[in-house]
Structure 1
Amino acid sequence: MKKITRRSFLAAMAAVSAAGVLTACGGSGNAASSAAASESASVSSEAVSSAASADETGTHTVIDHGGNEVEVPNKVTRVVIDQIPILSTYMAYFEGSAPYIVGYCGSFKSVISDTVLKNIAPELTESSDTVYAQSDLNIEEIMKLNPDVILYNAGNSSHAEILKASGIPSIGFATVGASTEADPLERYEEWLKLLEDIFGEPGKTEAFVAAGDEIVADVESRIADIPESDRPSALILWKYSDGVPQVSGNGTFGTYWMKHLGVTDKALEATGFAQTSMEQVYSWDPDILFLDGPGLQPLRTEDVLSGNVDGADFSTLTAVQNGRVYNTTLGMWNWFTPNPDAPLVLAWLACNTYPDAFADYPLGDTIKEYYKTWYGYDVTDDELEEMLLY
């Protein structure tokens, strides 16, 4: 398959434009799974297309992931982000920078400190204006920041009511529990598309999305050739606190990672981010244990393999005995949640799940090329090692 680069894409688009045809597509090739998403794709794109040529003092209509019609300024230069982990996707939208952000969820700053995002967009860590912790909302402090728009979690109805009452244009972004499936490989594309609508730039991220889809297609074609008998079982430990494991059950981001990998998801009988017991984990006894690590829990692979986990003994698990414990990394963001590294996440998961089938897969080179091309950032060997071996 021919590789898609920013240069080749722009050249193709220039030729199309000269022929008088304009294509505006910012999402994935998958069909919309709800009427609201479909309406947003058609109506909102039309609105922002006209907004692009409108007076900067005017407004345009955006339909967010909650189905709300929001009047947004044509010129957005002050953004507040509340309780939606979209900072990395926002940076990817701006190809390696994070302009216009005047405030964001304070708890995200500690997450950023463990990622390469702090190096790509240091302005995020240098900002002193944050919006408290992830679960808090102080609308008075937000209004002092004089934002043009607020980006928030569409699933948080209490925040939505407060933000709507403020009169500040507030746009909801879907996470889990939305009308569309919580597939991280689709969700980050939906986020990019909604950012296109907000900033009046339809089609801006089409080449980026296409390049990611190309990586995914390559990985999934390799997985498709693996016999069912060679496919392991797996479990995602989402969090571990005070002796209580919390797994990534049915309907969460983890469900879809397991589906893309073609493995047996041991936690599929659980619902949501479910608290369970170590006895249940022993009963599931996965061939592979994935840790949703930095940013959500402090566990490292070596902690589990060496038995250095307070209140829990993982040593009897098949995954531990065979050394098949892997910790999702903090490349651009926590890799199990929606983020612009999602295609790389699938490649990383596949390389660890099927080491023989992916023995020749150039994961390190793929990561470096992706970051250089789309984020304008040269990943160092030390950073790459941290991503792959956490």
Structure 2
Amino acid sequence: MKKLVKLFVKILAIFVLVLPLAGCGNRNTSKNSQIRETTKTITDQAGDKVQVPRKIKRVAVVGSVWPLPSVLAVFFNSANKIVTMPEPSMVAAKNNLLSELYPGILKAKTSFNDGVDINTEELKKVKPDVVFYGAENTKMGKQLKDAGFTAVGVSVGKWHGNTIKTLNNWIKLLSKVFPKSDKAKIVANYSDQVYTRVQKRVKNISLEKQQKIFFLRQYNSTEILTGGVDSFAQYWANAIGAKNVVNIPHSNNLTRVNMEQIYKWNPDKILITNFNTAQPEDLYHNTVGNYDWGKVNAIKNKQAYKMPMGMYRSYTPGVDTPITLLWLAKTVYPEQFKDINIIDETKTYYKKVFNINLTTQQANKIFTPTAASWQSNEVL
């Protein structure tokens, strides 16, 4: 009998010890289950695995991914989620179609978000659920994570200036973060279709007949910046069967050049970006600084063009990229693309891909941009 009592006491003691551990295990399982229900894990374009909330109401964009706020607004067909964005993005928004379609974007905070650095204490005050930053800026990524933010890296340079691939991959990433708004397939399909259309028409242009083009990236009385061999300019030129005249080894999106070099290159056409306030007339009449453009063929033949300004500056990747490609092809090779009505193409693109109905007046506005410059040593 005593042996039975001792055995019973031992069993009871073991039960008392094990029960709390079982409860702890159940609590941990329950907690992990709750985390899985409220978050999901994605891989961002910095290569990091990030746990992002399944419900995201407040979005911040910081650092040098300046086109991203416009991409987000069109992606959602609303700017209501955007609580802060870089100041250069706001400058563009105030001067283009973005603020007309989505006036709410003008409410986004910019005072602590200069597009280069970020004040994390001020960022905390706008309470973002997720923060998008430039994936190449690992220092900023660490700064954001150390401050407790859910930070998602978005790459500008991973696709070596290929604006189509960059846009497609941005939309792919956003579709993972916001699966209910998934547009990855339709954007990629449309972009690739436009690229293929252009290639069919330019592939037979001989090297001798290829147009020599020069992108006037930034321009003022003290400097001229352009895009070199590792830049968006090079991609655009390749994509439309033209020659980017800037053949300086290792040159990028911010390559400083002088008039003597431009005289030597003697481009047939000049594309003026929206990172400067110049219009073609400023080159025709030499209104900026002491530059003399009159010796350049493009200016002699009145072949300078201001690039479109739709939702953002079209030199960079953005939602306007497929239309920018068509516009460039038609501008540089008007005969090969004389049947292309760029206004109709623009309205069709926005309706088909993003279900946005642009009026003819709004579409026209994209191709008659006002000045919206932002002088900076950052890429975008």
Distance in 1, matches of 2:95 and 2:110, equals 19
Amino acid at match of 2:226: V
Distance in 2, matches of 1:372 and 1:202, equals 15
Q: Which runs of 5+ in 1 are unaligned?
A: 1-52
Equivalent residue number for residue 55 of structure 2: 75
Equivalent residue number for residue 139 of structure 1: 120
- Residue 153 of structure 1 and its aligned partner are, at CA, apart by 0.6
- Residue 389 of structure 1 and its aligned partner are, at CA, apart by 4.1
User: Helix, strand or coil for the counterpart of 2:191?
Assistant: helix
Equivalent residue number for residue 157 of structure 1: 138
Equivalent residue number for residue 108 of structure 2: 127
Equivalent residue number for residue 365 of structure 2: 386
The answer to whether structure 1 residue 174 and structure 2 residue 151 are counterparts is no
The answer to whether structure 1 residue 280 and structure 2 residue 283 are counterparts is no
Amino acid at match of 2:75: Y
Preserved contact between residue 69 and residue 82 of structure 2 (Cα < 8 Å): no
Distance in 2, matches of 1:181 and 1:134, equals 21
Alignment of 1:322-361 (within 5 A): 322-361=301-340
Equivalent residue number for residue 195 of structure 2: 216
- Residue 372 of structure 1 and its aligned partner are, at CA, apart by 2.9
User: Helix, strand or coil for the counterpart of 1:315?
Assistant: helix
The answer to whether structure 1 residue 242 and structure 2 residue 224 are counterparts is no
Amino acid at match of 1:324: Q
Preserved contact between residue 52 and residue 130 of structure 2 (Cα < 8 Å): yes
Distance in 2, matches of 1:375 and 1:211, equals 11
Amino acid at match of 1:302: E
Distance in 1, matches of 2:353 and 2:104, equals 18
Preserved contact between residue 57 and residue 73 of structure 1 (Cα < 8 Å): no
Distance in 1, matches of 2:210 and 2:161, equals 23
Q: Which structure has the highest helix share of the two?
A: 2
Distance in 1, matches of 2:43 and 2:270, equals 39
For residues 286-342 of structure 1, the C-alpha deviation after alignment (integer angstroms, 9 at most, x for no partner) is 11111112xx11111121122222231211111111111111121121111010111
Preserved contact between residue 81 and residue 150 of structure 1 (Cα < 8 Å): yes
Preserved contact between residue 289 and residue 326 of structure 1 (Cα < 8 Å): yes
Amino acid at match of 2:148: G
Percent sequence identity is 26
Distance in 2, matches of 1:372 and 1:278, equals 43
Equivalent residue number for residue 93 of structure 2: 112
User: Helix, strand or coil for the counterpart of 2:116?
Assistant: coil
- For residue 187 of structure 1, the aligned residue among 154, 166, 177 is 166
Distance in 1, matches of 2:183 and 2:332, equals 34
The answer to whether structure 1 residue 226 and structure 2 residue 205 are counterparts is yes
The two structures have a TM-score, normalised by structure 2, of 0.82
Q: Which runs of 5+ in 2 are unaligned?
A: 1-32, 370-380
- For residue 87 of structure 1, the aligned residue among 46, 58, 69 is 69
- Residue 388 of structure 1 and its aligned partner are, at CA, apart by 2.5
The answer to whether structure 1 residue 66 and structure 2 residue 65 are counterparts is no
- Residue 365 of structure 1 and its aligned partner are, at CA, apart by 0.7
- Residue 384 of structure 1 and its aligned partner are, at CA, apart by 3.3
Equivalent residue number for residue 270 of structure 2: 289
For residues 94-113 of structure 1, the C-alpha deviation after alignment (integer angstroms, 9 at most, x for no partner) is 2x222321111123211101
Distance in 1, matches of 2:54 and 2:108, equals 25
Amino acid at match of 1:74: R
Paired residues in the alignment total: 333
The structure with more radius of gyration: 2
User: Helix, strand or coil for the counterpart of 2:51?
Assistant: strand
Distance in 1, matches of 2:182 and 2:354, equals 17
Distance in 2, matches of 1:227 and 1:201, equals 46
The two structures have a TM-score, normalised by structure 1, of 0.80
Preserved contact between residue 283 and residue 299 of structure 2 (Cα < 8 Å): yes
Q: Which moved more, 1:148-157 or 1:371-380?
A: 371-380
Distance in 2, matches of 1:305 and 1:382, equals 28
Distance in 2, matches of 1:202 and 1:333, equals 21
Equivalent residue number for residue 372 of structure 2: none
> What is the alpha-carbon root mean square deviation over aligned residues?
2.1
Cα distance change of structure 1 residues 353 and 129 upon mapping to structure 2, 3 Å threshold:
closer
Preserved contact between residue 154 and residue 160 of structure 1 (Cα < 8 Å): yes
Cα distance change of structure 1 residues 183 and 65 upon mapping to structure 2, 3 Å threshold:
same
